[in-house]
Amino acid sequence: MNDISDAEFIMVIGSNTTEQHPLASTRIFEALEKGAELYVVDPRKIRLTDFAHAHAPIEPGTNLPMINAMIHVIIKEGLVDEEFIKNRTENYEEMKKSVEDCTPEWAESISRVKADMIRQFARKYATTDKAMILFTMGVTQQTTGVKSIRALANLAMITGHVGRPSTGINPLRGQNNVQGAGDMGALPDFLPGYQRPEWPETKERFNKVWGDFSCLRGRNIIEMFDLMEEGKMKVAYIVGENPVLSDPDQIHTLKCLEKLPFLVVQDIFLTETAKFADVVLPAGSFLEREGTYTNTDRRVQMIHKVIEPLGDAKPDWEIMTEIMKRIGMDVDYQSPSDIMDEINEATEIYGGISHDRIQEVGIQWPCPDKEHPGTPILHVDEFKRGKGLFTVNDFEFIGDQRSEEYPFLVTTGRVTHQYHTGTMTRKVWTLALEYPEGFVEIHTKDAEELGVKNHQPIRITSARGSIVAPAMVTNRINEKTLFVPFHFAESPANRLTGRNLDPIINIPALKVSAVRIEVE
Amino acid sequence: MSTNKLYTLDRDQLDQVLGLWNEKSTVYVPVGKGKDINLTPLGEGVRTEDYINLTLPVKEMVFEQKEALFSWKRREEGIEVKGLSKQHAKNRILYGIRACDTYGIDYKDRFFQREFPDPNYKSRRPENTIIAVNCLRAGEHCFCTSIGTGVFSTVGYDLSFTPFDSFFLVEVGTIKGQALINDAESFFTETDERLLKDKNDLREAVEESFPLKMDLSNLWDDMAKTFNADFWVDEANACIGCTGCTNVCPTCTCFNVVEEKVDQNEGKRVRYWDSCQSEHFTRNAEYHNPRDAISRVRYRIYDKLKYIEERFGHKGCSGCGRCTDVCPTYISIIDIMRAMRKAATENPEPPAVHQTTEIRHIIKDRELKNRHGLYTPDVATITGIKQETPEIKRIFMKYDDPELHKNYEHKGQFFQLTVFGKGEIPLSIPFGPGQSDELVFDFKDVGSVTDVLFDMKVKDKVGLRGPYGHAYPYNSLKGRNLIFIGSGVAMAPLRTVIEPVIKNTEDFKKIFILGSALRYEKLIYKEEMVEWSKIPNFNVKYAFKDPTDKVDAIQGHVNDLLPDLDVDWSNTTALICASPERIRKVAGDLLDLGLRSKDILVTLETHMRCGAGKCGHCKVGSHYMCVDGPVFNYEEMLALPPEF
């Protein structure tokens, strides 16, 4: 995180950092104090734009053309880091060819960011030594999510902005431990430590730890709900997730949960999803358990129990251990630190991270052995795969676009005082009071045209469903664009979003849905 | 304090002394590293002497982040309420407090224990003994020497320790402090004032070492000239409303109350620290908020640097710098003071009237004669209900304890009414002093509490606290013409004056009652107004936006009625209850007609919660609407910052 403070140029794309990652944004403010320049790409005038040196008010869903155009400009104007490309990367020529036609004017016609502004972004990024990119779901939750990230990687590699302090492309994680969950294999196609099940050495390694076991690729959440609908998935065990509010196309989600023969939900409160459960397992909150969280910068940090679990609640690891025992597995974990010992054995990246080493300060993985100090920066001398691979990322429209029937695009996100589906924050009166209800941000001009007054309830409808929430009339959002926070069960943004998926990894395009407005 | 005794204590023997004290009380000492220093019970961690300051001010020991105010329980015969103010099991000795925090304690003693004394603070404060340990070095954002609250503790301590190489110089501040010395007599050696010179030299050396030194002699001048300065926009844009600054402030005292229910028949009202930096702090029903992002951020700074001192004579900022340490977006009270200096020098505004005014309200000590303490309501039973308009009801009630009616003094302007389990709202007293055995209120269904109240029935129980606030100055109105101006439900507060005037019409000259609303149906006291119009020197006039055939009315605003009033304006008082915007419009017209601003009386019922000048929600500038108002004259209203 200190790297952010030392950057000279920061491009924030698809991240409302001040409101969603206030501590990361503190580092941006530190950098600004030291004279850094801040460029922001966002369809809304988010708070950071008040401090930014440039703001590209981009059309939702069109990051990729803009990034490709930036690459085009950098190549065209000879601002590439040839040394870096030669020594550290491969496939440059092919990528170069693919962006030949991606002129800023072409990108402007799609993303509505002025061509000159795209040039300004490109030049500034390419010519600043310590230039870093911060991004979040505003980039990934699109049908072009994967391509956009790869394009950002291209951008960083042609300019050599990788593997050095205060450079790189840096995702800010959306939850305190989403990094840790991914590290531990809460992904369909990896075992813990990002080991592919199909690799022979993976099977070998885990056989040593777990004995013989089935090792097949799993399903992601979108696929699982489809299987529920088809009646092929009979049982679901949902831990600490509230898909009724967080997954796209709520009406579909509800239908699937109703159809599912047996549902177990493990959570700290009775969530909207838990109401569908056959069995609810009460879990302890972060205050009631020991363990680790892995932060956005891959730092594995201890959390300590402050109070004993209340009522029937138990820490998640205890509940799962009990279930494993009841289904006949031979497990004997006495504490979270026993589990960490097993993680040490099973993964290389966590190989040397034990609870005693991180009592005071966490360690950043990869940390292969007990002597290893951890790794603050990835890709320093070499990428994981060896040479950095340039990729070709052609833009095509997939999913929702404006139409006569649905003339607005709605993008979703969060507000400062609520967290995710509000399972916790909506129960805290002071936070609940600050943002008691959902809302729809709408541009002043659009509101005037429709005769919508500030705070007036309006109905917005997509091809999937419809919600009602008070309008928040503002000039801090693009015209013909709406913003809805997804925290509120009474006006669930994800009743609007669709299952338009990124074709590569199936991430849903939560940030782009076409809708119409009806004035109630 | 200078006549109190002086002692020395060997530094080596400190732990023994603390151990000895810990036998009767719980001794809290600083534990932790770097910026993470917490007061921790002796023995639960390693005591440290290597710290700049405690992470959180000692405030939380005397004014807890969450405290229960009262409990209630439905029983067959009624509702039982109990004040909950005494809570600590054992006395506490708090060791290692810095000068900025003892200053904070001294201010809180002043704030909480005078006027309407706070029962919770009053019961907890004596259980805490404060031992100051003077600082020998400054943190990055320490500026107590610039403010004048440090660097050595001068107030708010029971004992003060100044560290020398091998011993502490111990000064006794209070009898409580002396008693502690007596408990460990053998460790302390009495000494004389010669050491005070060494202490003074040490203090000067420490002050000299401060990285931050600011000349604040022009501060209030600067503030008057920078109220609307451009830099406030940047500060407001930066603030994300995390409320960290107010949470770590030794002088922040605001709180909000919430209902914690066990079930339908039992619950508690608790208070939590609240923050003026959150948007909801001053938000009223229907999204109306008198403070925007800029005035929110600015208010905290003005309160700390000016309003608190104007009102209570204590510095509102102790110079501890915690708010600056903790802000995730680098809002710094230090930088703001510098920005004020710069803007006031380079680009000054004409001094703002509300920052230079001499108008101050007399602060009176008052105590309520209710049964269970300031924050605990007394139970009353609803005896009658009348539907005034589709949205407005009149509700009659009697205290369950008839004795309480005898205590009723017609001094205040409003009551706090509790719907048990739901919440509390302020309601004006619509009737005059004749209410000897019954209380009557009018209210409009606008929020979650009034929603429930609206559906309540005769024999249902509610809670009452009050009366609070300053009423209209009835006696000084005698011999004058009176114009009552109220729109919709806002006529209710005026009725406290109209009732006694009706009973003593001979004391007054011409009386005008101007009723206005969107529609006739929205007006309250419709029948009464018809009756009043029959009284000889009474004139009742109406203005409605929509036409009506029920009474003789003009179509328009209440302002339109004014020019045609046949009255000697020099001997006239106008009494207005309306929104601040409407008040400004009406008052503007009245001034044009020749009324003096002192003869326009207004009531500003903005966001009152506790009623006693404690919770902070209705504070505007250095005034509390609930205690100083809600009745003001127009001159006083204009002397308030435009944030209500």
Q: Do B450 and B521 have their domain in common?
A: no
Q: What's the pLDDT score for residue B410?
A: 57
A360 in contact with B, Cβ within 8 Å: no
A433 in contact with B, Cβ within 8 Å: yes
Q: How far is A412 from A137, CA to CA, in rounded Å?
A: 10
pLDDT band, residue A252 (cuts 50/70/90): very high
* Preferred mutation among A38, A425, A429, A455 to probe B, highest tally of B CBs within 10 A: A429
pLDDT in tens, A396-410: 888 889 999 999 999
Q: What's the pLDDT score for residue B2?
A: 46
Assign 3-class secondary structure to B110-126.
Answer: HHHHCCCCCHHHHHHHH
Task: Give the distance from CA B642 to its chain's centroid.
Answer: 17
pLDDT in tens, B577-612: 888 888 999 999 999 999 999 999 998 877 788 888
B549 or B406, greater pLDDT: B549
Question: A29 vs B238: CB contact, 8 Å cut-off?
Answer: yes
Q: Do B45 and B131 have their domain in common?
A: yes
Q: Number of residue pairs across A and B with CB atoms under 8 Å?
A: 47
Residues of A in contact with B280 (CB under 8 A): 430, 433-434
pLDDT at A274 over 80: yes
Q: What's the pLDDT score for residue A111?
A: 94
CB A188 within 8 A of CB A100: no
Report the alpha-carbon angle A76-A79-A83, nearest 5. 120
Taking the CA of residue A247 and the nearest CA in chain B, the distance in Å comes to: 27
Question: A434 vs B280: CB contact, 8 Å cut-off?
Answer: yes
pLDDT in tens, B172-215: 999 999 999 999 999 999 998 889 999 999 999 999 999 899 99
Nearest to B328 among A25, A417, A454 (CB): A25
pLDDT in tens, A354-379: 999 998 889 999 999 999 898 888 87
Sequence-ordered list of residues with C-beta below 8 angstroms from that of B128, at least 6 positions apart, any chain: B61, B62, B91, B92, B93, B94
Q: Do B55 and B177 have their domain in common?
A: yes
Q: Do B200 and B239 have their domain in common?
A: no
Q: Do B156 and B279 have their domain in common?
A: no
Nearest to B472 by CA among B355, B351, B577: B577
Question: A430 vs B256: CB contact, 8 Å cut-off?
Answer: yes
Residues of A in contact with B272 (CB under 8 A): 429-430
Average pLDDT (A261-267) is: 96
Which residue type occupies B434?
G
Q: How far is B458 from A501, CA to CA, in rounded Å?
A: 60
Average pLDDT (A176-189) is: 89
pLDDT in tens, B36-74: 999 999 999 999 999 999 999 999 999 999 999 999 999
b/e code B212-221 from CB counts within 10 Å (16+ = b):
bebebeebbb
Residues of B in contact with A437 (CB under 8 A): none
pLDDT at B165 over 50: yes
Q: What's the pLDDT score for residue B1?
A: 44
Show the beta-strand stretches assigned E in B460-566. 461-468, 481-487, 511-517, 538-544, 553-555
pLDDT at B450 over 80: yes
When the pLDDT of each residue in chain B is averaged and rounded to a whole number, the result is 90
Least confident window among A3-12, A60-69, B37-46, B396-405: B396-405
pLDDT in tens, A466-485: 999 999 999 999 999 999 99
Question: B278 vs A50: CB contact, 8 Å cut-off?
Answer: no
Q: What's the pLDDT score for residue B3?
A: 62
pLDDT at B369 over 70: no
pLDDT at B300 over 80: yes
A430 in contact with B, Cβ within 8 Å: yes
Q: Which residues lie across from A135 on neighbouring strands?
A: A13, A171
Taking the CA of residue A1 and the nearest CA in chain B, the distance in Å comes to: 14
How many structural domains is chain B composed of? Answer: 4
Nearest to B363 by CA among B142, B556, B36, B628: B628
Q: Do B419 and B496 have their domain in common?
A: no
Highest mean pLDDT among A135-139, A418-422, B147-151, B252-256: B252-256
Q: Do B202 and B351 have their domain in common?
A: no
- Looking at chain A, the whole-number percentage of residues with pLDDT higher than 70 is 100
pLDDT band, residue B88 (cuts 50/70/90): low
* Residue B392 placed within a domain: yes
Least confident window among A158-162, A382-386, B4-8: A382-386
pLDDT in tens, A185-225: 888 889 999 999 888 888 889 998 888 887 788 888 889 99
Question: B240 vs A19: CB contact, 8 Å cut-off?
Answer: yes
The reply to whether omega before A366 is within 30° of 0 (cis) is: yes
pLDDT at B471 over 90: no
When the pLDDT of each residue in chain A is averaged and rounded to a whole number, the result is 91
pLDDT at A139 over 60: yes
A286 in contact with B, Cβ within 8 Å: no
Residues of A in contact with B234 (CB under 8 A): 50
Nearest to B154 by CA among B119, B104, B204, B117: B104
b/e code B60-93 from CB counts within 10 Å (16+ = b):
ebbbbeebbbbbbebeeeebebebbbeeeeeebb
Nearest to A22 among B237, B242, B272 (CB): B242
* Residue B620 placed within a domain: no
Q: What's the pLDDT score for residue A418?
A: 86
A434 in contact with B, Cβ within 8 Å: yes
Q: Do B42 and B171 have their domain in common?
A: yes
- Looking at chain B, the whole-number percentage of residues with pLDDT higher than 90 is 63
Name the pairing type of β-strands B159-163 and B167-172: antiparallel
Q: What's the pLDDT score for residue A383?
A: 78
pLDDT in tens, B556-581: 888 899 988 888 999 999 999 888 88
Domain range for B230 is 221-356
Q: Do B558 and B519 have their domain in common?
A: yes
Question: A416 vs B280: CB contact, 8 Å cut-off?
Answer: no
Nearest to A434 among B238, B278, B330 (CB): B278
Taking the CA of residue B327 and the nearest CA in chain A, the distance in Å comes to: 8
Spell out the domains of chain A, with CATH numbers in brackets.
Answer: 2-172 (3.40.228.10), 174-218+283-371 (3.40.50.740), 219-277 (no CATH), 408-519 (2.40.40.20)
Q: What's the pLDDT score for residue A189?
A: 87
Give the chain B residue whose CA is nearest to the CA of A454: B287
Strands of the sheet with A131-135, listed across from one edge: A54-56, A37-41, A9-13, A131-135, A169-171
Domain final position from B297, B323, B356: B356
B284 or A130, greater pLDDT: A130
Give the chain A residue whose CA is nearest to the CA of B288: A455
Q: Do B180 and B313 have their domain in common?
A: no
Taking the CA of residue B16 and the nearest CA in chain A, the distance in Å comes to: 30
Q: How far is A265 from A237, CA to CA, in rounded Å?
A: 6
Phi, psi of B478 (to 5 degrees): -60, 145
Question: A22 vs B240: CB contact, 8 Å cut-off?
Answer: yes
Taking the CA of residue B363 and the nearest CA in chain A, the distance in Å comes to: 31
- Specify the CATH number for the domain of residue B501: 3.40.50.80
B107 or B556, greater pLDDT: B107
Task: Quickly tell me which residue has 């009552």 as its tokens.
Answer: B484
Residues of A in contact with B242 (CB under 8 A): 22, 416
Question: A416 vs B274: CB contact, 8 Å cut-off?
Answer: no
